[in-house]
Structure 1
């Protein structure tokens, strides 16, 4: 479940971490601010209440005992009820809360020091009160009782100011504005930081298709620059390796051409006609093997420029050429144009090898195309004996042949499938083999859809 909630891309994960971290930081700072504000308001409210009680207490004490109750009635208003009773209505306070204990302490410091004075405070709970702004609200109310010299009690019923609330509309708006600012700013920063990674991934994918692709620009943070530099160095080493291999095989092919030509010349002077034919046939096979090996080693498929072609027309030409040479090939596609960017000659050669193998060893070859959003499938089906599953990968090895003879009538040198997969890999695709239930083999060429 947690894996589903975690984004898949680095940019999204970085953005999520930034948003969650800053949001939690904002919540913590707002909580501390609200707590400090509440403490400040409680202290200010306590001092304000203590000042009023102390002032009224002085007035009542200076008033004659007979007129004190009338004076208390006159002083009372909607926010402060003052009364005089013969008994203590507050009683003993047990387990006072933090705010009540603080208010009691403030009262003791603000009231005039009187010998034998007793002060009691009791919480009455939330009661409806009328505020100074002439609004009806519900507020926590306390009862404060002060002892008078004649034995009576001066009582104050006082609403306390509500502490600052944490979850308010203002807090919600500040949170929303903060999150929007974080998302916009973080998205810009994360996109800037991860763009080199996206370019790095595209370059790595392009390397598998074109070893001669231009080097990746070295920019971004130091870590990305180091990785890019290492990638460019690796690409240069791979390019040099391919070039050295091609040059070496070209030199071998050139060097072998001279002795083969001399052997062919000498074979012309052999008197035994039967031996002469065998020697010339062997020399033809040698030339063909050298030419095939050199063709396989070259990187012509990569050097050939990319062109936009109609894949349907390309397949039609391949199938027509094979049909003209006597192979049973059918192409089952519609007339819609299927534009594709590729190395045309190389792709035509790869598909030709695959379709020719299907028609030669499978009797007949049926070719059709399947299209998906990101891939194109070229499917080749035959009606032959198929290939044992354990040997399907072997057919892509250089010079491997299921048909073991070297007779040119039954097959070549065993490089056709190898060359085909090399070319398909150079286009960023792959080849998959699978035996059909009804008999025969299915060859599926998977090509990526590219825009240019």
Structure 2
């Protein structure tokens, strides 16, 4: 059900506008037609009563022998008149307010005539009555002649009054009068006017809706950019009051994060730099140790400490790097990196476009770390590229033991190492994949670890263009 619902503010506003206009037009049309029908039916009943009163006055003063012929001559489809010795309407109370109103108006118009009785009721409904929809919407189909014919036939299809009036000589005049009980609710003109109103309302709403939602789109784009490591571009504080407040809060949050990142980077760089001096002193002192085995263990520990410091500085440098993005060919970059590496195979590159906007030096560090890991833990590496319309896929396979599935998310954490296959003796510090992930996320890409068919680790990178 949710897939049929609108998914954006613009879509919801359009649904609200269209629904509101349709509901308003429907309610207005309904109430208007109710009042209109009431007024028109009352007016038609008064006109029918006046016609009946006029005919009664005329036939009252007509010779009895001529009344039948005169009644036949003045009868029409909307009003039939017959003379009889008895009433065609039973002597009962008027069934509803309309019949009572017609009776009272006839009596009022016959105030100067010496009448005896006036009876009003409804005539039996015709057996071939049209469907209610065709009677309420008679003009929605057919040609002009058909619609005209339907209007003229309405009087014979609608409910009719039966009126009986007694004259002075006890003769009864029986009337069959058309009673308009339902008028057309809709027509093509009304439908077209509603559609035109909808079109104008939507057109007038599009511009303000666009003005309201454009700052939200900028806020979304700024949040995505900040997630990729761009903390230097403030968001314009424009738009409505609520949007300006959100933009201002976003800029303050971005500034705080920038200060935290800079402080952390400076602290790591300072600590790593300061550690170099005591390590150098320790290395000099180790040269004077007489025991060769103890001297070798001390030098190995110092080498490991220097490797950790270098990795830490590289990790901090990656966070603070301000390399400007440029347009370059990713296939050419990988070709240059792997040209003179004997343990790395760059598979034939399929034809396609490998241009992308990014930071070439950072990507060199990224691919360099992945290639070093593949050679160190998997003997050799195979690299393949696949162009996509919006991204470039890079796959790096090695032929080592791989990484257990339950640790594939953990290896991206700083200083985390898989002890079973990537231990301290191999020289790893646990920052290589953390740097790789930081570079990939800065480019808005994705990195996934999986199993290579036949054994080994497969690293898949998706780099947006």
Task: Give the equivalent residue in structure 2 for 1:206.
Answer: 225
1:96/1:168 CA distance change after superposition, 3 Å: farther
What SS does structure 1 have at the residue aligned with 2:236?
coil
Greater shift in the superposed pair: 265-274 or 110-119: 265-274
Greater shift in the superposed pair: 172-181 or 158-167: 158-167
Task: Give the equivalent residue in structure 1 for 2:447.
Answer: 431
1:77/1:304 CA distance change after superposition, 3 Å: same
Q: Conserved in 2, the CA contact under 8 Å of 1:332 and 1:367?
A: no
TM-score, normalised relative to structure 1 = 0.87
1:309/1:62 CA distance change after superposition, 3 Å: same
What SS does structure 2 have at the residue aligned with 1:87?
coil
CA offset digits 1:393-419 (Å, max 9, x no partner): 232222223345544xx3332211111
Structure 2: distance between partners of 1:377 and 1:336:
12
Matched, 1:442 2:458: yes
- Unpaired runs of 5+ residues, structure 2, are 130-147
Task: Give the equivalent residue in structure 1 for 2:170.
Answer: 151
Structure 1: distance between partners of 2:27 and 2:207:
25
Structure 2: distance between partners of 1:243 and 1:142:
93
Q: How does 1:173-184 map to 2 (within 5 A)?
A: 173-184=192-203
Q: Conserved in 1, the CA contact under 8 Å of 2:122 and 2:161?
A: yes
Structural RMSD (CA): 2.8
CA offset digits 1:273-320 (Å, max 9, x no partner): 666565555444333321210220234675111111111112222222
Structure 2: distance between partners of 1:345 and 1:41:
85
Q: Which of the residues 169, 188, 193 maps onto 2:188?
A: 169
CA offset digits 1:217-276 (Å, max 9, x no partner): 122222222222221111111100011111112222332233333334445555666665
Task: Give the equivalent residue in structure 2 for 1:399.
Answer: 415
Task: Give the equivalent residue in structure 1 for 2:47.
Answer: 48
Task: Give the equivalent residue in structure 2 for 1:308.
Answer: 327
Greater shift in the superposed pair: 174-183 or 91-100: 91-100
Q: How does 1:241-256 map to 2 (within 5 A)?
A: 241-256=260-275
1:288/1:384 CA distance change after superposition, 3 Å: closer
Structure 2: distance between partners of 1:302 and 1:255:
21
1:143/1:399 CA distance change after superposition, 3 Å: same
Task: Give the equivalent residue in structure 2 for 1:320.
Answer: 339
Task: Give the equivalent residue in structure 1 for 2:374.
Answer: 358
Structure 2: distance between partners of 1:299 and 1:101:
94
Q: Conserved in 2, the CA contact under 8 Å of 1:208 and 1:426?
A: yes
Matched length = 439
Q: Conserved in 2, the CA contact under 8 Å of 1:143 and 1:158?
A: yes
Q: Conserved in 1, the CA contact under 8 Å of 2:356 and 2:464?
A: no
What SS does structure 1 have at the residue aligned with 2:278?
helix
What SS does structure 1 have at the residue aligned with 2:450?
strand
Q: CA deviation at 1:191?
A: 2.4
Structure 2: distance between partners of 1:77 and 1:22:
44
Task: Give the equivalent residue in structure 1 for 2:400.
Answer: 384
CA offset digits 1:84-111 (Å, max 9, x no partner): 2112123356884664454344434433
Matched, 1:288 2:307: yes
What SS does structure 1 have at the residue aligned with 2:417?
coil
Q: Which of the residues 229, 243, 246 maps onto 1:227?
A: 246
TM-score, normalised relative to structure 2 = 0.85
- Unpaired runs of 5+ residues, structure 1, are none
Task: Give the equivalent residue in structure 2 for 1:17.
Answer: 16
Q: Conserved in 2, the CA contact under 8 Å of 1:125 and 1:142?
A: no
Q: Conserved in 1, the CA contact under 8 Å of 2:103 and 2:118?
A: no
Q: Conserved in 1, the CA contact under 8 Å of 2:89 and 2:119?
A: no
Matched, 1:33 2:52: no
Matched, 1:121 2:121: yes
What SS does structure 1 have at the residue aligned with 2:327?
strand
Task: Give the equivalent residue in structure 1 for 2:136.
Answer: none
Structure 2: distance between partners of 1:168 and 1:435:
68
